[in-house]
Structure 1
């Protein structure tokens, strides 16, 4: 009987230890709005096409961003971004607007999830990929420079572009 009890105790210990490892691994992948703090402020880049992003710090469980793109003195795009800390994820939602506040997107916003976060480097990805945006990666390339790599999907083909910003505030 003692042998049976010791096997049971060993099995329970193994299960409990495995569960602790799973919880520990999950804790390592938890993302938060703190991962985005390096984005705070006003960023501006480009020459022929000037693109600006302004990010407000996290408060109330959300971080907000606004963007404007201007070419040859003409507004090309406005964008409003909301990043929220939700129960089990950090979610980015955004829409593109014209000068009259009508949207480019039909229906709801584009939705991306924070899928990778390192110091001064975050990636948001669509899962499943949206019909337009697959991922956006923001990362600092210097003390006062920021880069955004945007991967797009059009007619099933991947493409995209890069924006390079200098701190403007």
Structure 2
């Protein structure tokens, strides 16, 4: 599918930083503003992202892109602790629920910073500074190796 060819490998880098458990917990608990259902359009396709409320040291989300009534791809997303640091990790699935990544691999985005309505990971930024809106900026690499930043704009519906 044409759209699927536009979705390419996300750039990541590995950062190792020491943080106390209370700081990590505060980071995730501080993302309660992300909870909800968001909808938008990208590349002529319907996009939706749903986030649960933080529980313990975890926040879980789901993304899907649809072309009409057909799933293009989905993502299962966790924000939690990886190797002693807070990070976002995700797995992609095609419409047949086949994973893009190897079975035991995830795409990881190490935590960098957060403010009241914005969280920055290495390679992806969530910004809800405009009420009722969510802007997700993702660093991507295309088939030619060119790095771009793509913005996904959502309206909060719940």
TMscore range, shorter length = 0.7 to 0.9
Q: Report the more deviating stretch, 89-98 or 45-54.
A: 45-54
SS at match of 1:58: coil
Using structure 2 for the length normalisation, give the TM-score.
0.75
Unaligned residue ranges in structure 1 (runs of 5+): 1-25, 126-134
1:136 Cα deviation from its structure 2 partner = 0.6
- The Cα RMSD (Å) is 2.1
C-alpha deviation, 1:104, in angstroms: 1.3
Higher relative contact order (CA closer than 8 Å, sequence separation 6+): 2
Q: Bigger radius of gyration, 1 or 2? A: 1
In 1, distance between residues paired with 2:106 and 2:34?
21
- 4+ runs of 1 displaced by more than 3 Å? 85-88
Would you say the 8 A contact 1:33–1:85 is kept in 2? no
In the alignment of these two chains, the number of paired residues is: 133
1:44 aligned onto 2:39: yes
List runs of 5+ in structure 2 lacking aligned partners.
1-18
1:123-162 aligned within 5 A: 123-125=120-122, 135-154=123-142, 155-162=144-151
SS at structure 1 position matched to 2:78? strand
Between Structure 1 and Structure 2, which shows a larger proportion of helix residues?
1
